[in-house]
Amino acid sequence: MDCIFCKIVDGSIKGDIVYENDDVVAFRDLNAQAPHHILIIPRKHIATVNDFTAEDASIFGQLGQAAKQIAGDLGVAENGYRLVLNCNDDGGQTVYHTHMHFLAGRTFTWPPG
């Protein structure tokens, strides 16, 4: 399978990793949209949110726990941050290995574009 994020997980492509545990890996986005733009991904290849099974339910919790940890480590928990999961074309997904965007370091607007 030719998945760029699986290659970052297995180390064959270098990622700027800021956090990892047995289930998830977090690394800086190559094309940052904020002072801190980090992608939090499951080690397991799951193409989109539509492909999560009941067995994978705990992975959502892991992504959230990692976001909380990263926010604390970066010192942005108090000011705030945005978490985004894009799914398929209308959601703006371009890499088909599910990832949570962690964005921080500036004020974001709502609604999103």
Residues noted as catalytic: 99
Establish how many alpha carbons lie within 13 A of residue 9's alpha carbon, considering only the half-sphere containing its beta carbon: 21
Q: Say whether 4 sits in a helix, a strand or coil.
A: helix
Assess contact for 74 and 36: CB atoms under 8 A.
yes
Question: Which of Zn ion, ligand 5GP, none interacts with 93 (beta carbon under 5 to 8 A by kind)?
Answer: ligand 5GP
Tell me, rounded to whole angstroms, the distance of Cα 82 from its chain centroid: 11
Q: Least distance in Å: CB of 54 to ligand 5GP?
A: 24
The window from 18-26, 44-52, 66-74, 93-101 that contacts ligand 5GP (CB under 6 A) reads 93-101
CA 62 to each of CA 24, 69, 73, 95: distance values in angstroms, whole numbers, following the listed order: 7, 10, 16, 20
Q: Least distance in Å: CB of 77 to Zn ion?
A: 29
The window from 42-50, 57-65, 73-81, 88-96 that contacts ligand 5GP (CB under 6 A) reads 88-96
Number of chain residues interacting with ligand 5GP (CB under 6 A):
12
